[in-house]
């Protein structure tokens, strides 16, 4: 739909007087129609965050000139900023292992047009989902991750990601711990779904840990991957009530429902440029 | 705390280009420090809504001059608007009947300083809570509502409310249906907690209705009172899971937990000027 | 897995003394190993409900003899009862229209072995999902439902259902109102997902109704279909928080997440014989 | 209400065949009317748990004889067991510090008859709530806990608890870490509300920890106190959604709502003998 094409401006900068005034003056002077706007001032960090969606056709110029004009304001206020184009869907590379519920869910949302992204490839260390993925006309790459050659495998994945011009890598229950190199190479670009309510139950077998501890709610957490295991900035979380009748296998089974929902939600926030990062935390303009 | 005294600006107007720019220019030109800001454009109604909290001491003038200066912008954009002062707590008159859980909860929040309001009076058609209320040094008015003289009773309540210079009337499980006259007299000023997930189970005995229908979640709804029973603009709602083991008496008992939480939340939104009205709906800037 | 094959006994009867004793004596005398057991006495209806899972191999006889022996007790206490075999998965016929999210979700659960059922067919009034369904090696039947020949179409569906020996018919956002005849023919066998928190917003376009009313939570309800529209016994419900920024299209989009989860949960309860009916309500032994 | 006085039988024992049969035979042979019954077999621990509520007047004997008769079965199956009398409310001693929201909430529930317990005393290391508590006609004991004489203080508290014949000690945001001695002395009798979703954020200032980690949900946990800090068996938990706009002070404020609800719920389960302990986990028969 060209007619509701939007430019999405997102920025953060040291907090101060006049930021909103300067940005909105630029947009208003050019008769820009703001569809959605949010800002947030972090009192403690003294930092300001902003996101605006502007109707592309309401502006008298294209995205390049918008960027050029905005650069002056950005410099003045020392902004980290980006302007993206809703007509250019993000390119999402999905990594999957042997659990298919998140993959199925993402494909379903993509197929129905609910999740507006391009999926240039699914990469897996197993062959299990080749047929399903290829039925969706999406290329499937089998990249085994042998225990003694993990770095080589991750190098292959990084190469694929670059070649496919991926914007974001989604670990859809990938079950492999990425190397420090790959984490550092794509900061804020790798999204993981961890099957616990972080920071509880970091690492392997969180449902087993949850069962042992006897918690009454289980959770799932969508977060950016950093080199510190399951410790990256959290995008979204959710929980589900359980009770004493539920064995570990039940937790694994029920947990899937929140894993896929939370991952899809977190990914949507990301590809719609709703997530701004500050140190190890996220500002999510829903 | 004078040092974080804030002016709270809230407005709505026909949507258009330049509103944010105009408002933020006024604030920025006077070096006003915006603590919190939210806006919303209703695409369908083509109406724009905005709320800002500005640090009082950051501005070079007092609230009256702020209002005066703002009036020009307000006229230009045909705004419905108000500027309030966080140092002037809203005056909340509580009406209660024989169920005390919401009253207790509001008093607890008020006493601990969590709910920043003045409570000039509690009014009831019964004597049950006189002692509790008076222990809190709050005047208690017993206004019976005899079946054949309801209008007279409501007239007394309205008179009390006016005399006490009430800003908002809270029906904390008051159990009486207010007259059309009183509803019309205080639009957007009377808040009720209805013990169902509206629009399900309007009117009397909603938990009994819920039990009969066999729902699996019960709810509570905080809304503005209008002359149409339980049909006013909804401020907040919440639900609670139940199951077949719960009899009507259990629903009544468990429901209290969401009633008091939802009422307290809705009231807080209201007294912090976070709720804007548009027709029969609310914009809640949390 | 034969070794955890279970017989599932479910029953209801007028409440009285000695029911549990009689049933558990039969099981215990035959050294039956009870895996799971739940009962419930409805005080108001004075009716008793029970469900037991017994390890098949722990009993010295097969299901037919179990039924035979149980019949004596059943008669004594005037029970409505059934004994089913976990090794005989229920046969689920899915009906779908043009919204595929529930279908995708059910197929994903079935494919991964999470949902243990047979799916002898998917029936649709459109061709949209033929390829997806057939990729799963499930037959797809296109049964158009022309406005003026609905009864004929439903007759075809009923015939298909019977021929395929279906146990349960799932309306996975089927969007057609079944005829009274078909509802009466399969009482307690047709499961629907309605995209609202019933009894709010019965009938067409519930998200539009929800948007108009300005509710702060939207919901989904899984229920048995009866001739009264959206008024059958509720199996499960859930809700999702929304706010003023969400347009109707957002409600439609977000709502899908609870629709598919609630339908899958309700269907699982049903196929595991966890749902007992009493008048217009359900007892769900989770 | 004598006419619905109930005997509450709760037990656990090694799992095996015939337990339910034996127990229900005893009850049925004496024409006992079972109001509510639940059991659970922990497959992993091979242990069986059971709870029954039996109408007192339906049995031909009093509680002492019931206990006597039950002892035979109990011995046969090596049961840990208890039979309690609903007409004998549990004696709950509340410990509080300077945060009053949980205290207020418990007093409100007790006063309205929703929480059926006796409260022989409130104990505090401060004088803040003396007047409120005494207004409720409940004795208030001020037991200071000086840093260098904590053990002496806890000794006083234990002495008071014994003298008052307390059944359960409730730490209603008591903010003091009990000594190992007192924890060991009252196993399964001390209930705490911790203001985080355990096992996340053990120890001091959990909301500050939550803020630092950037979680998207905060929680509260009601658990039995053991010598290991915040590591005892969990009775109930709940969470609340937050976002980037919430400062630590907001988390503290919002968190109170779940703290008081979860504590009240956990306490109710306990005083109704709904909680059975097994190692470090609870079985909660709701």
Beta-carbon count within 10 A of C184 CB: 11
The low-confidence residues of chain C, meaning pLDDT below 70, are 1-3
Q: Which backbone phi and psi does C218 adopt, to 5 degrees?
A: -110, 165
Beta-carbon count within 10 A of B126 CB: 14
pLDDT number for residue C3 = 62
Average pLDDT per block of 10 residues along chain D, 286 residues long: 82 94 94 91 93 95 97 97 97 97 97 97 97 97 95 96 98 94 96 97 96 97 95 97 96 97 98 97 96
Average pLDDT, chain B: 96
The encoded tokens of residue C274 equal: 């966890």
Q: Quick: pLDDT tens for B175-212.
A: 999 999 999 999 999 999 999 999 999 999 999 999 99
Nearest to C257 among A104, A261, A286 (CB): A261
Q: pLDDT band at A3, cuts 50/70/90?
A: low
Question: Which residues of chain A does D244 touch, with a Cβ-Cβ cutoff of 8 Å?
Answer: 40, 42, 49, 281-284
Helix, strand, or coil (residue B274): coil
Nearest to B244 among C200, C215, C282 (CB): C282
Q: What percent of chain A has pLDDT over 70?
A: 99
pLDDT number for residue C43 = 86
Beta-carbon count within 10 A of B167 CB: 20
Average pLDDT, chain D: 96
Q: pLDDT band at A119, cuts 50/70/90?
A: very high
DSSP assignment of chain C: -GGG-EEEEEEEEE--TTHHHHHHHHHHHTT--EEEEEEEEETTTTEEEEEEEEEGGGSSS-HHHHHHHHHHHHHHTT-EEEEEETTS--EEEEEE-S--HHHHHHHHHHHTTSS--EEEEEEESSSTTHHHHHHTT--EEE----GGGHHHHHHHHHHHHHHTT-SEEEESS---PPPHHHHHHSTTTEEEEESS-TTSS-SS-HHHHHHHHT-SEEEEEEEE--SSTT-SPEEEEEEEE--TT--HHHHHHHHHHHHHHHHHHHHHHHHTT-EEEETTEEEE--
Looking at the complex, does the CB of residue C236 fall below 8 Å from at least one CB of chain B? yes
| Residue contact D243–A44, C-beta within 8 A | no
Beta-carbon count within 10 A of C114 CB: 16
Closest residue in D to C19 (Cα) is D28
Q: Quick: pLDDT tens for A182-213.
A: 999 999 999 999 999 999 999 999 999 999 99
| Residue contact C261–A261, C-beta within 8 A | yes
pLDDT number for residue B138 = 98
| Residue contact A281–D234, C-beta within 8 A | no
d(CA A84, CA A265): 20
pLDDT number for residue D2 = 46
Mutate to test the interface with D, among B104, B243, B264 (most CBs of D within 10 A): B104
DSSP lists the bridge partners of residue C55 as: C6
pLDDT number for residue B43 = 86
Q: How confident is the model over A143-168, as a mean pLDDT?
A: 96
CA angle A216, A202, A286 (to 5 degrees): 75
Strands of the sheet with D234-241, listed across from one edge: D140-142, D118-124, D91-96, D168-171, D190-194, D217-224, D234-241
Question: What is the CATH class of C6-85?
Answer: alpha beta
Q: What percent of chain D has pLDDT over 90?
A: 95
Question: Which sequence spans correspond to the domains of chain C?
Answer: 6-85, 91-284
**Strand (E) or helix (H) holding D72:** helix D63-76
Q: Quick: pLDDT tens for C158-185.
A: 999 999 999 999 999 999 999 999 999 9
How far A16 CA sits from the closest chain B CA (Å)? 8
Mutate to test the interface with D, among C27, C28, C217, C241 (most CBs of D within 10 A): C28
| Residue contact D17–C33, C-beta within 8 A | yes
Would you say the C-alpha torsion A100, A103, A109, A113 has a positive or negative sign? negative
pLDDT number for residue B2 = 46
Question: Is residue A123 over pLDDT 60?
Answer: yes
pLDDT number for residue D3 = 62
Question: Is residue A163 over pLDDT 70?
Answer: yes
d(CA D95, CA D75): 38
Environment class of C2 (CB within 10 Å of its CB; exposed 0-12, middle 13-18, buried 19+): exposed
Helix, strand, or coil (residue B98): coil
Looking at the complex, does the CB of residue C196 fall below 8 Å from at least one CB of chain B? no
> Residues B138, B101: contact at Cβ < 8 Å?
no
The encoded tokens of residue A221 equal: 């957490």
Which position has the token pair 């020949």? C149
Nearest to C282 among B49, B197, B214 (CB): B214
d(CA C68, CA C72): 8
Looking at the complex, does the CB of residue A257 fall below 8 Å from at least one CB of chain C? yes
Question: Is residue A1 over pLDDT 90?
Answer: no
d(CA A95, CA A170): 6
Looking at the complex, does the CB of residue D269 fall below 8 Å from at least one CB of chain A? no
d(CA B101, CA B98): 9
Chain D 49-68, CB below 8 Å of chain A: which residues?
49
Q: Quick: pLDDT tens for B89-113.
A: 999 999 999 999 999 999 999 999 9
d(CA B140, CA B127): 9
Question: Is residue A2 over pLDDT 70?
Answer: no
User: By C-alpha distance, which of C39, C138, C151, C38 is closest to C96?
Assistant: C138
pLDDT number for residue A227 = 92
Question: For chain A, where are the alpha helices, taking DSSP H only?
Answer: 19-29, 63-76, 101-111, 130-135, 150-163, 180-185, 206-213, 248-271
Q: How confident is the model over B270-274, as a mean pLDDT?
A: 98
Active site residues of A: 230
Closest residue in C to A238 (Cα) is C240
d(CA D233, CA D281): 5
- Name all chains with 3 or more CB-CB pairs below 8 Å to chain A: B, C, D
d(CA C199, CA B200): 6
- Architecture of the domain delimited by D91-284: 3-Layer(aba) Sandwich (3.40)
Q: A48-85 in b/e burial notation, b at 16+ Cβ within 10 A? A: bbbbbbbbbebbeeebeebbeebeebbeebebebebbe
The encoded tokens of residue C4 equal: 């955890």
Helix, strand, or coil (residue D191): strand
Q: Quick: pLDDT tens for B4-25.
A: 899 999 999 999 999 999 999 9
Active site residues of C: 230
d(CA C58, CA C13): 26
d(CA A69, CA B5): 37
């Amino acid at each position: 739909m060209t007619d509701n094409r939007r430019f999405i401006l997102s920025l953060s900068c040291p907090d101060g007087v006049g930021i909103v005034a300067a940005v909105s003056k630029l947009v208003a002077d050019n008769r820009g129609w703001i569809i959605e706007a949010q800002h947030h001032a972090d009192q403690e960090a003294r930092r300001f965050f902003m996101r605006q969606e502007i109707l592309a056709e309401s502006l008298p110029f294209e995205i390049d000139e918008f960027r050029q004009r905005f650069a002056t304001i950005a410099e003045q206020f020392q902004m980290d900023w980006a302007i993206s184009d809703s007509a250019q869907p993000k390119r999402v590379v999905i990594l999957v292992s042997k659990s298919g519920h998140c993959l199925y869910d993402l494909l379903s949302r993509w197929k129905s047009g609910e999740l507006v992204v391009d999926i240039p490839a699914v990469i897996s260390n197993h062959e299990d989902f080749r047929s399903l993925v290829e039925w969706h006309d999406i290329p499937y790459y089998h990249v085994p991750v042998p225990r003694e050659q993990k770095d080589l495998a991750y190098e292959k994945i990084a190469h694929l990601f670059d070649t496919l011009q991926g914007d974001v890598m989604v670990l859809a229950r990938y079950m492999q711990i990425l190397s420090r190199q790959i984490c550092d190479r794509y900061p804020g670009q790798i999204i993981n779904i961890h099957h616990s309510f972080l920071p509880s139950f970091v690492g392997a077998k969180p449902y087993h840990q949850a069962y042992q501890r006897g918690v009454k709610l289980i959770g799932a957490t969508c977060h950016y991957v950093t080199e510190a295991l399951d410790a990256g900035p959290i995008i979204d979380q959710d929980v589900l009530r359980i009770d004493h009748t539920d064995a570990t296998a039940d937790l694994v089974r029920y947990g899937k429902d929140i894993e896929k929902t939370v991952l899809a939600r977190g990914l949507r926030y990301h590809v719609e440029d709703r997530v701004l990062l500050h140190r190890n935390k996220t500002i999510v303009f829903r």
